[in-house]
Structure 1
Amino acid sequence: MSETATPAVQSPIDRLLAVMAKLRDPNGGCEWDLAQNFSTIAPYTIEEAYEVADAIAGGDPAAICDELGDLLLQVVFHSQIATDEGLFGFDDVATAISDKMERRHPHIFGDVRTDDVRVQWETIKAAERASDGPKSALDGVALSLPALLRAQKLQGRAARVGFDWPDAEGPREKIAEELAEVVTAPDESARAEEIGDLLFAVVNYARHLGVDAESALRAANDKFARRFQAVEDRAGPDIAKLPLDTLEMHWQAVKAAERS
């Protein structure tokens, strides 16, 4: 009597990798998945990262778990595209990030001792960049980042080499200067440029105050949406017919209700 071999239990990550490989299989795979490349998938990757942030803000563990799965799928998708093109595979991605984390945490995975982990982290990152040859201090700040976040990172990189205001007073005064230039801009093109400079100055001021500009604006967006929807509830279906002073009255009432 022959023994029947017990099938190996497939790990969740191996199952996901197998699902993606099948979707990208030229023989019987999904037509849409097969048509994708790094560039076409990149917008979905960014979108999924934001949906994870939204789920975290909502505080629902089930939603966070679901959105993290969607984000993980993006990593697997990109890795499968790379595998199909003979570039690298998922194991290479996992190995590379593991190596990086161990290298950047020598006080955890090695015998290095430090009193300032943040400085050590930045020193190691700087050494990694230097090993690739002379580069700008701004290299590595992704072009696809949200504009406010990218502005903050660019300013932070410049500050590392001493290109920065000594305190928050400089950026605050810069806001007033840039606002005046918006007002005096001679045409639409110049006005748009000055608005950009004004926003950049506001981000710089926020950075000096220790405020994350991207998070602050997201919170302001959420607050506006919440309050405006409350105004809609108060005003009713004919809101578009109401005069501005009536809408302002509703707005102030909503704000007062939040404070009470």
Structure 2
Amino acid sequence: MNVNPTDVRYTDALQRLLTIVNELRAQCPWDKEQTLDSLRYLTIEETYELSDAILENDLNAIKKELGDLMLHLVFYAKITAEQDVFDIADVMNGLCEKLIARHPHVYGTVNADDADTVKRHWEQLKLQEKGNYSALAGVPNMLPALVKAIRIQEKARGMGFDWRPDDLSSVWHKVKEEIQEFVEHIDPVSQKPHNFIEAENEFGDILFSLVNYARFVGINPENALEKTNKKFMRRFMWMETAIREANKQMHDLSLEELEFFWQQAKQQEKIK
């Protein structure tokens, strides 16, 4: 599907959405009550639903969730327009100006022949625009820890603080080094930490170094972990069903019996 930015369908569709949001804001009791604050947690939920749809590669769901998110964006701009702060046109024009400024290799004279160079320039320009003292100041505090680790490392990389791209062995060596440091805080007999705080710190270092390695080999650790979460849930729920059909209770089974059902669940996925 070729996207023609001058296609009247796009402007018609946006105008239709703006009209409906205006009507709902004026006539719907629920819409009348909404504020920037009340919509915030709903927007977070919609963002995660879009993320789920992308991981499932469900294109129809992606289209739906994009629509839900777009509604939120327009709704926020409607509320701020009522406050005489800014409207949806200000939002879009501001975005256009930012995109032009952040892409001097397209709209200016800067050379950037690869994606890494583009990202590095992006971070440097962003720092200049915001006047931030630190490149990490732009990392949102509310990000989930795993996603935050990814962004922190990307920001640091944009400032030139990173392993050499051809030195993957050193990146993996760092992972093993962090694991060894964690193990040193574990009692070999009780298998519990000598000092919980120190062990927790070392475990965090393991996760951070694994995120770093994943970045170097082109794996998004957030996506990888979520896919594993979903895989575990599928297998576990299959186990629950199989155990019920066998007229048994999961908590009555031995670990060996549970392992048998777990292996069956894995085998079922291979058959499919």
With 102-111 and 43-52 compared, the bigger mean Cα shift is at 102-111
Deviation per CA, 1:219-255, whole angstroms, max 9, x where unpaired? 1001101111221232126333322221111112222
Pair 1:184 & 2:193 matched? yes
Deviation per CA, 1:190-218, whole angstroms, max 9, x where unpaired? 66555544433432343344321101101
Pair 1:250 & 2:251 matched? no
* CA distance in structure 1 between the partners assigned to 2:158 and 2:108 by the alignment: 27
With 132-141 and 31-40 compared, the bigger mean Cα shift is at 31-40
With 137-146 and 30-39 compared, the bigger mean Cα shift is at 30-39
Pair 1:11 & 2:36 matched? no
Structure 2 residue aligned with 1:200: 208
Match for 2:214: what amino acid?
A
* CA distance in structure 2 between the partners assigned to 1:43 and 1:235 by the alignment: 38
The aligned runs of 1:89-238 (5 Å cut-off) are: 89-110=87-108, 112-161=110-159, 163-164=161-162, 167-181=171-185, 183-186=192-195, 195-236=203-244, 238=249
1:137·1:157 contact (CA, 8 Å) conserved in 2? yes
* CA distance in structure 2 between the partners assigned to 1:197 and 1:39 by the alignment: 35
TM-score, normalised relative to structure 2? 0.77
SS at match of 2:137: coil
* CA distance in structure 1 between the partners assigned to 2:119 and 2:199 by the alignment: 40
* CA distance in structure 2 between the partners assigned to 1:86 and 1:18 by the alignment: 18
With 197-206 and 212-221 compared, the bigger mean Cα shift is at 197-206
The runs of 5 or more residues in structure 1 that have no matched partner are: 1-8
Match for 1:130: what amino acid?
Q
* CA distance in structure 2 between the partners assigned to 1:90 and 1:37 by the alignment: 16
The runs of 5 or more residues in structure 2 that have no matched partner are: 1-8, 164-169, 187-191
Structure 1 residue aligned with 2:66: 68
TM-score, normalised relative to structure 1? 0.81
Match for 1:37: what amino acid?
T
| Alignment root-mean-square deviation, CA | 2.8
With 250-259 and 13-22 compared, the bigger mean Cα shift is at 250-259
Q: Percent identity?
A: 37
SS at match of 1:24: helix
Match for 1:178: what amino acid?
F
Structure 2 residue aligned with 1:6: none
Q: How many equivalent pairs are there?
A: 248
1:130 shift after superposition: 1.6
Match for 1:214: what amino acid?
E
1:113 shift after superposition: 4.5
Match for 1:14: what amino acid?
Q
1:72 shift after superposition: 0.5
Deviation per CA, 1:95-132, whole angstroms, max 9, x where unpaired? 11222223333444456553234313431441232243
* CA distance in structure 2 between the partners assigned to 1:176 and 1:85 by the alignment: 57
